[in-house]
Structure 1
Amino acid sequence: MLLQEGAEAFLSQNVPVVTFPSSPGRSTTEVIRRAANPRGPLGVLRTVSDSAALTDNTCRHVPGILSQLNVDALVADQMEPAAGLIARHLGIPFVSFACAVPLERDERIPPPYLDWPYATDEAGLKRNRGGEMVASLLLRAQRATIRRWAARFGLSGLQTLEDCLSPIGTIAQLPGALDFPRAPSARPLLQVGPLRDPPPLKPFALDIDRARPFVFMSLGTLQGHRYAIFEAVARACHRLNAQLMVAHCGGLTPGQAERLGATWAVDFVPQRDVLAQADVCVTHGGQNTVLDALEAGKPMLVLPIAFDQPGLAARIVHHGVGIKLSPRRLSPKRVEEALQRLLTDPAYAERSRAASDAIASSGGLAETVNSIERWSAPEPTGWSKAN
């Protein structure tokens, strides 16, 4: 793993890591904190500026590191254009990996940071083009950084994040069963489903009252401080006589956790184990939680906050495996009505179980490893240093 200093703290396992220094005033922790709280257009521009600075910093440090390590191939995060720039510069085969919603464009699919529906008519296509135009304006700092480093590396035709994707193809965690329909493409997009460690041999024990509904809620590690959202859901569950487990990932103080009124309010739990026992998942739409919920066949109430969460929420609604509410206009009554629908309408659970079956056949970790090795072998089809 090649990471900027500080990012290794987010790894869940002890894996070999090589780090490079962060740029002044832009530590990994600070950049992530700002990105998790964009706060309007100015906050979005600040996030773009931070991302462009990270790309610039990566292009400065990483070519020398890769040369010293004698790297034969790269698996590159789609969201970091430096990976594609550097790999082309050094003539190293690389495979793009989509940790978030895949960046591969399709005119009917809206940008991943918007909760728009799939376009089925000219009005929808026009709306998508408008969204792309606005995004292009917001991402000017990123494009300028890409152009500058492409020129330094002697590369031509690279201006956008999408231009920096691997010509070999992309591997994505988002399964086709949760994505919008995509037009066929000559460039492979392999959607393998969640990449996870095997489940523990001993299941997580939880004293659940089987006569009452059980709701699990998590807003992820970056949004676990949002007390008002947790409270609205807790009050709704109280009205429904439902059990609620809140996993706030250390975002709440002990006093806040106690005041919530949830049945359980904890820092962390083995999420997959708990979801296997839950009836409904309430989530911000982070891809890990979404995939864990669908893998367990559980419908979702999704409250998208940032990043690609709106795009995932739109896909959840499209496939009928959940309901979307805005966290900015959240009330216990609206949450209660949504949860009541998810708990009483069997169609949501049936479609979620069907998605679980599709995920189980998506290929997972084995298909991912086989594809990386096959695609990045010496001079694989579709790769040459000219690319």
Structure 2
Amino acid sequence: MTEIAVVCPPYYSHLRLFEALAEELRGRGHGVHFIVNAGAAGMITAGGEGIFVHEVGRRSRHDLDRLITRAAGGGTPLSVLRTVRDAARLTEDLCREAPALCRDLRIGAMVGDQMEPAAGLIARHLGLPFVSVASALPVHDDPTVPLPFLGWPYDPSEAGLKRNRGGVTVAGLLLARQRKTIARWADEFDLPNLATLAGCLSTTCQISQLTWSFDFPREPSPIRHAVGPIRRRGRDEAAPAIRRDPGRPLVFASFGTLQGHRLRLFRRIARACERIGADCVVAHCGGLTEAEASTIGARHVTDFVPQRAMLAEADLCVTHAGMNTVLDALEAGTPMLAIPMAFDQPGVAARIVHHGVGERLTRGHLSTRSIATRLERLLGTSSFTDNASRIGRDIQGSGGAKLAGDIIERALAASGDFERPAGRDGHGPT
């Protein structure tokens, strides 16, 4: 049995993915140790024998909640700078305390989120076999692909490449605080010429929960693997308690756990649905009070619904283009109207448009009329559903957590320092 450390930022969607990986690896006989920033332990729901949670630093859960709220504030340059600063401080805490903890725990391998450079820094410092996992869009360098937080279309022409290089230059300015933190700890750990997030990725194994059919075209690489949605097993969803009118289209609107407070936007979406004769179901994910939710005017408003089951029932999804919601919608063959707000959502929305599985609206075009026009076009054009169903079949056939577990074990075993549990095909005791 190998003791494996998992390291990821304290965001719910990232933690849910790593919980799925933790349970998969534990089922194969490994010990799994979450190493997270102080305050994040209460956000982790995976547990039981063989899965452990360790906090580093001296932050409180209140500190993390404030950080997450700031990060959800939007994609303006000021908010990006603030989020980069906050993330750099979390990286500092991990780099300062996690190496000694890993030694004490006799950690034999590390699986890290691509968005947390501390994982790569610490793994290299300790000489640990290391796998990078992209909870969001992959961040590895590719000159033909715009950076994840940019909503630019795919354009491999010289003009597109020049534009992408300009995006990298601007990103370098916005991410200066992160680069400084990475460089400082790389120097501390005697890791020369390391100063970028991409440079902290694993050089042997990178896993994404995309499918190739939903990403932009990329140069093939033996170290990059697209496995589809990474979810916890054995968690079947009940059908949503909503009786749909067979004579009216059904639109599901959700902006995830970080953007569920967008009351005015939910109201516009509900009015747009009414204008085109569609029913609207809104899930605000706890972002609104009961009094606020009662003013939306949709057919059904709630905090949470069984999302995958809801999307299987819906004709359209209005989404912030969060990775998990988009993959769930595609799996159900449900077209989307994307309204990106922060993080990698502009890049995900660009892929929605590129593959013809939906349309996108930006912040300056969010009137009731513009939303209604887009919804009507999505409902009246069969190619959107056809394209979403085609990619959805790829997602349904993807390996998810099981395939990710196979790849992780193969990659770490190839390092020569990884102990794979005895048993059939190395997948735990028989």
TM-score range, shorter chain: over 0.9
Specify which of 29, 40, 44 is matched with residue 11 of structure 1.
Answer: 44
1:110 shift after superposition: 0.4
Q: Counterparts of 1:1-387 in structure 2 under 5 Å?
A: 1-14=34-47, 16-22=52-58, 27-38=63-74, 40-186=76-222, 188-197=223-232, 198-200=234-236, 202-377=238-413, 379-380=415-416
Distance in 2 (alpha carbons) for counterparts of 1:202 and 1:23: 37
Inter-partner Cα distance in structure 1 for 2:45 and 2:112: 19
Worse-superposed segment, 162-171 or 304-313: 162-171
TM-score, structure 2 as length reference: 0.85
Distance in 1, matches of 2:68 and 2:93, equals 16
CA contact (8 A) 2:109 2:129 kept: yes
Q: 1:300 to 1:380 in 2, by over 3 A?
A: farther
Superimposed CA distance per residue, residues 25-72 of structure 1 (whole angstroms, 9 cap, x where no aligned partner): 992212111111146322221111111111111101111111111111
Letter in 2 for 1:183: E
* Structure-2 separation of matches of 1:22 and 1:72: 26
Distance of 1:262 and 1:308 partners within structure 2? 28
In structure 2, C-alpha distance between the alignment counterparts of 1:11 and 1:32, rounded to whole Å: 15
Percentage of identical aligned residues: 49
For residues 141 and 113 of structure 1, what CA distance do their matches in structure 2 show? Answer: 17
Q: Which amino acid aligns with 1:230?
A: F
Q: CA deviation at 1:378?
A: 6.0
Contact preservation (8 Å) 1:374, 1:380:
no
- Structure 2 gap ranges (5+): 1-33, 418-430
Give the secondary-structure state (helix, strand or coil) at the position aligned to 2:123: helix
Q: CA deviation at 1:9?
A: 3.8
Coordinate RMSD, CA, aligned: 1.8
Classify 1:378/1:315 alpha carbon distance in 2 versus 1 (closer, same or farther; 3 Å). Answer: closer
**Aligned counterparts of 2:402 and 2:104: Cα–Cα separation in 1:** 29
Aligned partners of 1:109, 1:202: CA distance in 2, in Å? 39
Question: Contact conserved, 1:170 with 1:190, CA < 8 A, in 2?
Answer: yes
Q: How far does the alpha carbon of each residue in 1:126-165 deviate from its partner, in whole angstroms, 9 at most, with x for none?
A: 1100000000111111111111111111111211111110
TM-score, structure 1 normalization: 0.94
Report the Cα distance in structure 2 between the residues aligned to 1:297 and 1:39, rounded to whole angstroms: 29
SS in 2 for 1:262: coil
Q: Cα 1:299–1:199, aligned 2, differ >3 Å: closer, same or farther?
A: farther
- Please identify, of 23-32 and 164-173, the stretch whose mean Cα deviation from structure 2 is larger: 23-32
- Whole-angstrom CA distance in 1 between matches of 2:135 and 2:255: 18
In structure 2, what is the Cα distance between the partners aligned to 1:265 and 1:202? Answer: 18
**CA displacement at 1:24 relative to structure 2:** 8.8
Partner-residue secondary structure (3-state), 1:167? coil
Q: Deviations over 1:287-334 (max 9, x none)?
A: 010111001110000000000000000000000000000134301111
- Inter-partner Cα distance in structure 2 for 1:159 and 1:129: 18
- Matched residue type, 2:44: L
Q: Note the alpha carbon deviations across 1:354-374, whole angstroms, 9 max, x for none.
A: 011111223212110111111
The separation in 1 between residues aligned to 2:235 and 2:135, in whole angstroms, is 20
Deviates more, 1:231-240 or 1:40-49: 40-49
Secondary structure in structure 2 of the residue aligned to 1:130: helix
> Given that residues 271 and 368 in structure 2 are in contact (C-alpha distance below 8 angstroms), is that contact kept between their aligned partners in structure 1?
yes
SS at match of 1:19: strand
Distance 1:377 1:343 in 2: 49
Deviations 1:77-120 (A, max 9, x none): 00111110100111111100000000112111001001000013
**Match of 2:41, SS?**
helix
Amino acid at match of 2:227: V
Secondary structure in structure 2 of the residue aligned to 1:16: strand
Do the aligned partners of residues 106 and 272 (structure 1) sit closer, same or farther apart at CA in structure 2, a change above 3 Å counting? same
State how far apart, in whole Å, the 2-side matches of 1:39 and 1:61 are: 31
Going from structure 1 to structure 2, the CA distance change for 1:372 and 1:39 (only over 3 Å counts) comes to closer
Q: Aligned AA for 1:195?
A: I
Structure 2 counterpart of 1:67, one-letter code: R
Moved more, 4-13 or 322-331: 4-13
**Aligned match of 1:385:** none
Name the CA distance, whole Å, in 2 between partners of 1:379 and 1:45: 37
Letter matched to residue 376 of structure 2: Q
